[in-house]
Amino acid sequence: MFHHKYCNILKRTIVHSLNRKNHVKLSENLTKPIVLGIETSCDDTGCAIVDGTGNILGEALFSQNALHVRCGGINPLVAHELHRDNIDNVVNEALGNAGLKIKDVDAIAVTTKPGLLISLQVGVKYAKYLAKQYNKPLIPIHHMEAHALIPRMCKDIPFPFIVLLVSGGHCLLAVVNHIDDFVLLGQSIDNAPGEVLDKIARRMKLRNIPTYSTMAGGRAVELAAKGAKYPDLFKFPLPLARYRDCNFSFSGIKDYFVRKLVQMENEHGIMGNEIIPEYRDFCAALQLAVAEHLVHRTERALLFCEEEKLIDTSIKNIIVSGGVACNDFIFKSIEFIANKWNYKTIRLPPRLCTDNGIMIAWNGVEKYKKELDIVSDFNIKDIDPTAPLGRNYINNVQAANLPVKATKLHILYDT
Ligand code: KG4
Ligand code: ZN
């Protein structure tokens, strides 16, 4: 399925070894533009250098996740400090892997929105410094656009396509018409799914079990759910069931499961660091709740695109991206509903679903080729922690008033 991607990885390996031996020859073989991308919007300091055909020439990532898991969630000040401490090393490591110097790149792309303000500032400041020092153009990148477009680096995916972005900070459905043309169909009105999985995993004290101790909450829930005996032990209410739009709400799921957890802890007389014995069934039910809600809203988006003729009926693709897309059960659930509407469901390997510098560099490559957003400096408005994605069609979806029945997905646990 990701043939081209694996070709790229293979080429990347070759590029590295060739590079160390013969830098000049390699530079001649690379496809322009060569873009260096920097990502610091949340808790990952990432940098990558990607060429015009999507070869990853060099990459480095410093993930703060394990530390934040230990500290009970992301602390923006700690994230800022760690970005500041690591950015120089991460960029130099990526360049070192590529055997390139800043003077060899055509442009520097950097995430400017959305994200944590003081985290974004570290990447932007560093990119500005490099651009000034080496006289390189800058390309501002929207983090969610980069998540949506990265699959095009690995696979020939024509516009338009639908994207479901599910991460620790976001949840949205959009139609991608072009590199700079996004139509927002729905988004979360409260928490993001990854945020809820992280919070409940923490409240469950999953990190006290050594296997899960350094894992992102969502990943821990997925692994624990795999050992469930009764995955539909708990029944939960489907969020926003009466609202005929594509918006999401995860706060109800969070409150419901926290209440259930407290009740079970009381029943078992759980104290201190102990964990309820049914934690695997509990995780499976939580994952099922998240999946059924995502599927219910996604099906309405597919129906809306059908009615409004927003997607070419001969090439129907839905991309699932963002950290929560790493979840096999959630992916299978989206695939299940997408199949019903003759869509092909696409996701990348986990390494490219979660935050990384590669998606920033690739978005820079696509923009550079189309001569979009190439600037010599940013102004203060370019950094926007709450920037929305694309043109807002949420009211149009509501006005279409399309009924969609809930799909029960527990059967997918047996497949
Ligand atoms: O896209 P990402 O790396 O950062 C944001 O922009 O938020 O996503 C991180 C989120 C975290 O909440 C993490 O728990 C979740 O993705 N995540 C998962 C899985 N792996 C990471 N959620 C569910 N299942 C997984 N396997
Ligand atoms: Zn992200």
Decide if pLDDT at 23 tops 50: no
Contact in structure between 171 and 376 (CB atoms under 8 Å): no
User: Token pair for residue 192?
Assistant: 């993001």
Among 299, 319, 365, 394, CA closest to 107: 365
- One domain, residues 306 and 332: yes
In a domain, 173, yes or no: no
Contact in structure between 286 and 197 (CB atoms under 8 Å): yes
For the chain, what's the residue count? Answer: 415
Over range 356-384, report the average pLDDT.
93
In a domain, 41, yes or no: yes
- One domain, residues 208 and 290: yes
C-alpha of residue 322 to centroid of ligand 2, in Å: 5
Place of tokens 């624990």: 224
Decide if pLDDT at 14 tops 60: no
Q: Whose CA is nearest to atom 3 of ligand 1?
A: 354
In a domain, 172, yes or no: no
pLDDT in tens, 293-321: 999 999 999 999 999 999 988 899 999 99
- One domain, residues 146 and 282: no
- Residue 334 CA to residue 319 CA, distance in Å, equals 10
Q: Whose CA is nearest to atom 14 of ligand 1?
A: 218
Please report the atom of ligand 1 found closest to the CA of residue 147. Answer: 1
Point out the ligand nearest to the CA of residue 194: 1
Place of tokens 């799921």: 253
The C-alpha torsion from 319 through 322 and 328 to 334, rounded to 10°, is: -40
- One domain, residues 261 and 367: no
Bridge partners of 317, per DSSP, are 344
- One domain, residues 358 and 266: no
HSE-up of residue 355 (Cα within 13 Å, Cβ side): 28
Please report the atom of ligand 1 found closest to the CA of residue 194. Answer: 12
Decide if pLDDT at 382 tops 90: no
**Poorest-pLDDT segment among 73-82, 90-99, 272-281:** 73-82
Decide if pLDDT at 339 tops 90: yes
Domain count, the chain: 2
- Residue 87 CA to residue 61 CA, distance in Å, equals 9
- One domain, residues 341 and 360: no
CB under 6 Å to ligand 1: residues?
42, 167-169, 194-195, 197-198, 216-219, 222, 322-324, 326-327, 354-355
**Poorest-pLDDT segment among 40-54, 188-202, 224-238, 323-337:** 224-238
HSE-up of residue 38 (Cα within 13 Å, Cβ side): 34
Over range 372-401, report the average pLDDT.
93
Residue 381 pLDDT: 76
Dihedral angle sign, alpha carbons of residues 38, 42, 45, 46: negative
Residue 232 pLDDT: 78
CA-only gyration radius of the chain, Å: 22
Domain carrying residue 198: 182-347+392-414
C-alpha of residue 267 to centroid of ligand 1, in Å: 31
Segments in 308-356 forming alpha helices (H): 328-340, 350-353
- Residue 104 CA to residue 136 CA, distance in Å, equals 10
Residue 72 pLDDT: 60
In a domain, 165, yes or no: no
pLDDT in tens, 163-178: 999 999 899 999 999 9
Over range 122-150, report the average pLDDT.
96
Bridge partners of 248, per DSSP, are 188
- CATH number, domain with residue 343: 3.30.420.40
Decide if pLDDT at 16 tops 60: no
Please report the atom of ligand 1 found closest to the CA of residue 355. Answer: 3
- One domain, residues 280 and 367: no
CA-based angle 381:384:386, to the nearest 5? 145
Probe ligand 1: pick from 74, 250, 326, max atoms within 8 Å of CB?
326
Among 48, 87, 117, CA closest to 356: 48
pLDDT in tens, 278-294: 999 999 999 999 999 99
What is each CA distance from 101 to 28, 265, 322, in whole angstroms? 14, 56, 30
Over range 27-34, report the average pLDDT.
77
Decide if pLDDT at 2 tops 50: no
- Residue 98 CA to residue 50 CA, distance in Å, equals 9
